[in-house]
Amino acid sequence: MLVPEQIREFRARLLAWFDIHKRDLPWRRTRDPYAIWVSEIMLQQTRVAAVLDHYTRWMARFPTLEALAAAAEDEVLAAWSGLGYYRRARFLHQAVKVVAAEHHGNVPRTAAELRKLPGIGAYTSAAIASIAFGEPAAVVDGNVERVLLRQIGGGEPGSDFNAAKGARKGEVVLRSDDIQNLATELLEPARAGDYNQAMMELGATVCLPRNPMCLQCPVQGPCRTRGEHPTTARKPPISVDIGYALFKRQKGDADEFLLTQRDAGATVMPGMWELPLLESWPTDEKPLLTLRHAIMQTNYRVKVVDRSQTATRSKHLATAGVEGRWFDRNDLRGLPLTGLARKILLRLGVLLPARDSDS
């Protein structure tokens, strides 16, 4: 573990580096706790580059906590579409309603109070409380965990770090509580928000999972690893073939497209809209579109075929018995579409890419 002099030097070097090298991100230009909260939810399990445009459009559409609380869930999910992990959007929507109703629209100022809201755990509560309000609460996400483990020569990141299997030679074995305690010990309480962001920034841009840039690291001095630590090989992704049908009809001067809605009780993306699913992989006809789509550890090989001349109640529809609905292009833009449905409709030119000015 680090001694007090090393801790002081660690804090000073890290914050000096952050002051010079931090990325210019829109949520770093405000102290609005609602805006910071939105950014932290969006950044969960999503890369910064993928969040930037979504964040800008979201804040244009829901500029205040009250605006989001007053919105319908379908509107919220439509604005979130493309970020994935839609439970985050639902929990955020539920939580701002609680804040609007029970806290007079004022975001709770402490991590302990924030954790009482739907969808907010230890990491998110500490991030919001420290960045927006300066509370000395240390964050631990995957990036921070990796930095800390490398600093002390610990094992690979993960729950309890397989302590039961024994440590490698010279390796420190830590459990989750130990990691949190270490993060708290290193935290600079006078600049808690900046320190937490600096730790996350270091892990995201320098102390990378593969090929870390140790020569650029401001805290390489006390680091006991200086490079990659051994990691467990990930399970290879599985591949799945899947087919969808495009049903198109003309109504007046407008084209309409048939979509089906996932059941409200579905485990994955409940209530979201998508193209009708085919019962089997279409092998005997030329597809309108082929593409690949990855969700977690599954790689989907997708074919989309034109069934516009086929009756809506076709036997080809795996969703037979579930009512579909026809939508024109303007309606589609406001629907909570699955990420794959949005990708398909964009590739086919049915949807146009969203603009930053869209609200």
d(CA 94, CA 117): 8
In the chain, how long is the greatest CA-to-CA distance? 76
d(CA 66, CA 54): 19
Concatenated DSSP letters of 179-244:
HHHHHHHH--GGGHHHHHHHHHHHHHHTS-SSS--GGG-TT-SS-S--SPPP-PPPPPPEEEEEEE
Residue 257: in which H helix or E strand, if any? Answer: strand 254-261
Q: Which of these, 93, 174, 92, lies nearest to 140 by C-alpha position?
A: 174
Residue type, 84: G
SS3 171: coil
d(CA 312, CA 321): 11
Which residues face 240 on adjacent strands? 300
SS3 255: strand
Tell me if residue 9 is catalytic: no
d(CA 211, CA 158): 19
Contact assessment for residue 337 and residue 78, using Cβ atoms and an 8 Å cutoff: yes
- Burial of residue 146, with CB atoms counted within 10 A of its CB: 0-12 exposed, 13-18 middle, 19 or more buried: buried
d(CA 206, CA 219): 11
* Residue in 40, 135, 145, 201 annotated catalytic: 40
SS3 268: coil
Tokens, residue 19: 């002051």
Report the relative pairing of strands 289-295 and 254-261 from DSSP bridges.
Answer: unpaired
Q: Would you name the residues annotated as active-site residues?
A: 40
